[in-house]
Amino acid sequence: MARYGMVFDIRRCIGCNACVVACKQENSLPDGVFFTRTLSEDYGVYPNAGRVYIPTLCNHCEDAPCEKVCPSGATYTREDGIVMVNDALCIGCNSCAVACPYDQRTSLGKDLFEKGLFGQGKITDFEKQGYTRFTPGTVSKCDFCSERVDSGLDPACVVTCPTDARIFGDLDDPESKPSKLIKERGGRPPMPEKNTRPKVYYVT
Amino acid sequence: MATVREHVQNSLKKGKWIRSTCKMCLHSCGTIVHVTDDGIINKVEGDPTNPSNNGKLCPKGNSAIMRHYDPNRIKQPLKRTNPEKGPNVDPKWEPISWDEAYDIVARELKKALDDDPRKILPSLEHFQKMNVWNWPLAFGNQNSFQSGGTMCGGAYHPMNGYIHAAFAVANDALHCNYWINDGTGDGFSSHLHAAAQANWVADARIKRGMRCVTIEPRLSTSAAKSEEWIPIRPATDRHFALGLCHVMVTEGLCDYRFLRKDTNAPYLVGPDGTFVRNADGKIYVWDTESNSARLWDDPTVGVDRLALEGTFQVEGKECKPAFQKFRDIVDKCTPEEMEKVTTVPAATTRRIAREFARAATIGATIDIDGRTLPLRPAAYNYYRGAQGHKHGFQTNHAFKMVNFMVGNIDTPGGLCGVTLDDQWIDKNRIIPGENGMILPQPHQLGPLPPFQYPPSTYHLLNYFPVGLHPPHLNLVVFENPEKYGVDFKPDVMVIGHSNPLWAMQGPREKWFEFMRSMRFIVVCDIIPTETTMWADVILPSHDALESWNMTMIEPPHTEGMCLRQPVVEPLYDTRSEEDIMSELSERLGILDAYNEVINIVSGFHHKPELLLQPGRKYTDREIAERKGLLWNDKPLDWYIEHGHAVTHRRSDKFYRPWEGMRLHFYIEDMVTIPRDLKAKMEEAGVPFRNEWCWDDYQPLPTAVLDPVHSEPPEYDLYGIFFKEIQINFGESLSNPWIKDIVYRDPVHIALILNPKTLEKQGLKSGDIVRVDSPTGRIYGRVGASEGMHPDALGVSNSLSRIKVRHATVAHAGGHFNDLLPYDLGNTDAVTGQPETVCKVKLTKLDDWPEPLKQGLLVYDIVDEYQRPGKVGSH
């Protein structure tokens, strides 16, 4: 059984946010909802100024605090390591959102599905066929495109990335792309001091 | 009984994938589009079989569905019932039938055609459908009010035509090891097939260790990803380039063999700036071995004997090799002198020049497909920001010279010409010119009108024999028609696939007056824009998921044709652009002429069986089919299945396709064309001939300053504007997915100043300011960034919209382009390229002016996004 993880190659990422839009497309996310975000951070002082682009998403932690605090068992980890939300069980308490040190949990308020992407309550046909997957009032997040993965595809963000900065695969397979990248380029998880053991790594 | 769970992820729902081509910018990345069995388009991805973009798509391409399902789309023809026109005046649209719409439009256009065809002013800039763009040629009209062009590459394209006989250029990502970007985001955020080139360049950087250096006033994406960012004062990139050339020339770092053998650098130039010719018109060179003048093709004189430097006497005239003429200029362009102009430290210029020349491995070769080619893996790329200045032709020439120095023109690893529509690759492109030189091809967008006085074009294109299109001059003439001897006034506009009121430079208010002077305006578009507000009739067109096309636009490393095919039936009562133009043409009695325009522009004369015949209208599908057959003899069904016929560029067409000919290091046309133009103007008594900027014409780039630097000193900052990949090469700010990312991005949410400059100006981040240039005024909120040259004010195009009747489009404090000059003095007499940098001054305000307080401001959205929300609703 695979243990899925992701590597972000910071050298490659150009901060274009194609991944963010691909994710919104794939998952019919309402306005202002992100299952992945690519941030940018300026550093240095002119003329030695720089900027780094940082892709982020749910880290599918091995010791997921969101799963630990979930009172209803809605948040659970699959055998292949993907941390999922069963929104039929979610009571919308938001404990997971408080517990997540990476701020990767999103509260799906009812108003999001009523206002529509274009606002003014105009819901497009695209949204109509997509919003049915959500249960308003629950808290959701990236699930590594688990459905695509089950069908043998890579997550939507990975497929579209123009610079191949997102690498997805089986961390337990030493020959997988993410495993090799972590080994060759010294991959590090974000904020390891939080002790959640993310399955997402960064290489620079 | 177990139920089969319905898929929730869009690409897995029951449906089918259709291959097509992206249209969210002007390029042609391959796509696959998923449409469900219920007929809803719910996913767009890159086509993994298309070797241009290899399955990748930029954020704009990923957002195509939201253009398609935009509820603000124009759903049927509309007629204006409110005679008053203004930026936020309700046109009071009345829906009408296509019949009535065509009746009205044809009637009004016919009035203009019968009266004087020059009274029609078209804005039809459509790179993916050049047959539509060139519709006005059907009635001999070469006016233009287009929305792109000169902002983008007004001088860039003609220069590429001179040097490479191509439309665009790119560094060769396959072999380059030292990649310089000057005022461009190629390979990171923009230009040629953004997602595709970003993929090529990322691999080059990571797998091959290619080093990137970016020169530009701000820390763009390209600068942020480069190993080195060289900040530069705006509008001085030419001087930096000349400084690099100085170092390479004075330190002997050039590819002299290339200069002697493959260019006209050894050709002798006489006192009048033209080449020295014998009685038969053959050009002289100087043979250093016999110490005498010989003809350029003298078979007894080996190429290595040709002088590049020196002063000689030939046929009683003092003359120098063209290279010496260049040396005379760059000898004075010391890095120290150039630093005064650019602020780039002299030591940096010296170091970069030496690194560049070393990385170019002059003398090295590589074998590709059985040819031994020079290997020059160092290249200097440049585009909109660097090239968009008054002295555009000289500026582009200076950038070419950096590349000429190391002999990398069209070589592996070097700066390579990129063709526009790939029928150009095989036909009519590399043609021998006179005296061993390649024939320049500056007119790649169509024929230019001949010299004529009074002018036959409202934007004075008759006086720009090199090109390209100076649409801002429409305003110059409008303000003073008598001065320019224009004896007609356009009063009908035909606008399609353009938004000139968003793109033009000069104050919007003046352009509004120009619009108000029109008797009739028809606009063909998909969604409401700044320009549709002014229409008398709107003809809604299909979007790119509902229509056909066959095209390939400026792919850097591939060639071929890409099919656009409908994924669904049109959602609304729209028509294809081809249907609209051919129906109007038929009603106007110009259908046969239009079909012939399509034939010429599409290249159907190369395969006469494809020619459109007189007397019938052709659909977008029929034209697409013919373009496919023209490329590779494959029928439309083949393209429907495969989506494209894209392959890697053939090396013999990409690398040194001009082998055996000489390139235009020295552009003699810059001496002969103005001489000829001046004589014609003199003969015709053109009243403004003495004000024409004759000195703009230079056969070699000089260190003249662009006039923007001489504005009154009270304007103490340089205003620059920029885009980035989310919003370039098209309109995307109306798209909620784009809005969601752009207004959260620090570079797109404020007028950006270096923190020290902010302080010096007495401002704090978040202050509201009025920005004044000598030409116009805008308002905005300032922010700080260390990634900004201290002399510059950076304004993202995200802050450029004005009031539009589209709920997602938020206006900011006015359009940056209002600040830009639009006069002849700030226009390149050679190419029509206008200045795209301005000098500005800032005034702190306590609050927004009243008109901006009405309606949704971009800054309101930014504030909302930054407001800390409850946990988990990021």
Residues 57-76, chain B: which have Cβ within 8 Å of A?
57-59, 61-63, 65-66, 69-72
Tell me if B199 sits within 8 A of B190, measured CB to CB: no
Question: What does the alpha-carbon distance between residue B496 and residue B192 come to, in Å, rounded to a whole number?
Answer: 23
- Which of B21, B24, B22, B26 is CA-nearest to residue B149? B26
Q: Check if the beta carbon of residue A38 is closer than 8 Å to that of residue A20.
A: yes
Q: What is the pLDDT of residues A79-109, one digit of tens each?
A: 999 999 999 999 999 999 999 999 999 999 9
Cα gap B684→B707, rounded to integer Å = 29
Q: How far apart are CA A101 and CA A83, in angstroms?
A: 15
To the nearest whole percent, how much of chain A has pLDDT over 70?
A: 100
On whether any CB of chain A is under 8 Å from the CB of B5, the answer is: no
Q: pLDDT tens digits for B743-801?
A: 999 999 999 999 999 999 999 999 999 999 999 999 999 999 999 999 999 999 999 98
Residues on chain B touching A148 (C-beta within 8 angstroms): 9, 11-12
Question: Amino acid letter at A156?
Answer: A
List the single residue in B with minimal CA-CA distance to A140.
Answer: B872
CA distance B624 to B619: 9
Give the pairing type, strands B30-36 and B537-540.
unpaired
Separation in Å, CA of A99 to nearest CA in chain B: 10
Is residue A121 very low, low, confident or very high in pLDDT (cuts 50, 70, 90)?
Answer: confident
Instruction: Give how far Cα B587 sits from Cα of B80, B118, B613, B618, B774, Å.
Output: 22, 19, 17, 14, 46
Nearest to B492 by CA among B80, B139, B122: B122
Contact call for residues B93 and B78 (beta carbons, < 8 A): yes
Residues B206 and A167: their CA atoms lie apart, in Å, by 14
Domains recognised in chain A with CATH numbers: 4-203 (3.30.70.20)
Q: What is the mean pLDDT of residues B415-443?
A: 89
CB contact A37 to B (< 8 Å) = yes
Q: Could you read off the pLDDT of B216-242 as tens digits, one per residue?
A: 999 999 999 999 999 999 999 999 999
Measured from the Cβ of residue A197, the count of other Cβ atoms closer than 10 Å reads: 13
Q: Chain A contacts of B225, Cβ < 8 Å?
A: 14
Let me know: does B82 contact A63? Beta carbons within 8 Å.
no
Contact B92, B82 (CB under 8 A): yes
Confidence of residue B147 (pLDDT cuts 50, 70, 90): low
Which of A56, A125, A150 to substitute to test the interface with B, most B CBs within 10 Å?
A: A125
User: CB of B408 within 8 A of CB of B379?
Assistant: yes
Question: In B553-695, which ranges are continuous DSSP H helix?
Answer: 577-588, 591-602, 620-632, 636-642, 651-654, 669-684
pLDDT of B253 > 60? The answer is: yes
Residues of B in Cβ contact (< 8 Å) with A100: 872
Secondary structure (DSSP) of B273-308? SSBPB-TTSPBEEEETTTTEEEETT-TTS-GGGB-S
Complex ipTM value: 0.98
Distance CA B740, CA B296 (A): 61
B4 pLDDT above the threshold of 70: no
Burial class from Cβ neighbours inside 10 Å (0-12, 13-18, 19+) for residue B145 reads buried
Query: Span B237-258, mean pLDDT?
Result: 98
Q: What secondary structure, in 3-state letters, does B699-737 show?
A: CCCCCCCCHHHHCCCCCCEEEEEECCCCCCCCCCCCCHH
Beta bridge partners of A50: A43
Angstrom distance (rounded) from CA B353 to CA B261 = 23
Query: Average pLDDT, whole number, for chain B?
Result: 95
Q: What are the beta bridge partners of residue A139?
A: A107
SS3 call for B646: coil
Cβ-defined contact of B741 to A97 (cutoff 8 Å): no
Mean pLDDT value across chain A: 97
B568 at the A interface (CB within 8 A)? no
A47 and B CB contact within 8 Å: yes
Yes or no: say if B412 and B369 are a contact pair by the CB < 8 Å rule: no
End-to-end CA distance of chain A: 29
Residue B296 amino acid letter: W
Tell me what pLDDT residue B874 has. 47
- What is the C-alpha to C-alpha distance for residues B184 and B161, in angstroms, rounded to an integer? 19
State the pLDDT at residue B672: 98
B3 pLDDT above the threshold of 80: no
Selection from B553, B560, B579, B570 nearest residue B639 by Cα:
B560
- pLDDT-derived band at B315, boundaries 50, 70, 90: confident
Nearest CB to B56; choose among A117, A145, A161: A161
Q: How confident is the model at residue B2 (pLDDT cuts 50, 70, 90)?
A: very low
* B525-536: b (≥16 Cβ within 10 Å) or e: bbbbbbbbbbbb
Amino acid at B688: F
Q: If you average pLDDT over residues B804-819, what whole number do you get?
A: 86
Contact B585, B594 (CB under 8 A): yes
pLDDT at B543: 98
Distance (Å, rounded) from C-alpha B507 to C-alpha A125? 40
Cβ-based neighbours of B676, under 8 Å, separated by 6 or more? none
Tens digits of residue pLDDT in B637-693? 999 999 999 999 999 999 999 999 999 999 999 999 999 999 999 999 999 999 999
Q: CA angle at residue B511 from B510 to B516, to 5 degrees?
A: 100
* The pLDDT of residue B340 is above 50: yes
- Nearest by CB to B219, from A9, A49, A97: name it: A49
Cβ separation of B11 and A44 shorter than 8 Å? no
Q: DSSP H helical segments within chain A, as ranges?
A: 18-27, 65-69, 95-99, 110-115, 125-131, 146-150, 156-160, 177-185
Cα diameter, chain B: 103
Residue of chain B minimizing CA distance to A9: B206
Alpha-carbon distance of B720 to B236, in angstroms, equals 12
pLDDT digits (tens, 9 = 90+) for B566-614: 999 999 999 999 999 999 999 999 999 999 999 999 999 999 999 999 9
Q: Residue written as tokens 């700080």?
A: B784
Residues of A with CB below 8 A from B809's CB? none
Is beta strand B792-796 parallel, antiparallel or unpaired with respect to B717-722? parallel
CA distance B262 to B256: 10
**H/E stretch holding B136:** none
pLDDT of residue B149: 62
Compute the average pLDDT of residues A122-128. Answer: 96
In the predicted structure, residue B311 carries a pLDDT above the cut 90: yes
Tell me the C-alpha to C-alpha distance, in Å, between residue B513 and each of B83, B87, B518, B660, B790: 14, 11, 9, 54, 36
Q: Quick one: pLDDT band at residue B1, thresholds 50, 70, 90?
A: very low
Consecutive H or E run containing B351 = helix B346-359
Tokens 């509008």 found at: B235
Q: For residue B484, give the DSSP letter.
A: T
- Checking if the pLDDT of B345 tops 80, the result is yes
Instruction: Identify which has the larger pLDDT, B117 or B6.
Output: B117
Residue of chain B minimizing CA distance to A52: B224
pLDDT band at B5 (very low <50, low <70, confident <90, very high): low
Q: Which of A61-70, B3-12, B161-170, B699-708 has the lowest mean pLDDT?
A: B3-12
Instruction: Give the CA distances from residue A66 to residues A83, A96, A196, B700, B871, in Å, rounded to whole numbers and listed in that order.
Output: 9, 4, 10, 67, 13
Neighbour tally for B604: CB within 10 Å: 23
State pTM to two decimals: 0.97
With H, G, I as helix, E, B as strand and everything else as coil, classify residue B636. helix
Q: Which of residues 800-819 of B touch A (CB under 8 A)?
A: 807-808
B851's CB contacts (< 8 A; 6+ apart) are none
Residues of A in contact with B207 (CB under 8 A): none
- H helix and E strand count, chain B: 28, 32
pLDDT at B870: 54
**How confident is the model over B475-503, as a mean pLDDT?**
95
Contact B826, B834 (CB under 8 A): yes
Return all residues near A150 (Cβ < 8 A) that are at least 6 apart: none
Owner of token pair 């960064």: A202
Q: Are B661 and B633 in contact (CB under 8 A)?
A: no
Can you give the length of chain A in residues? Answer: 204
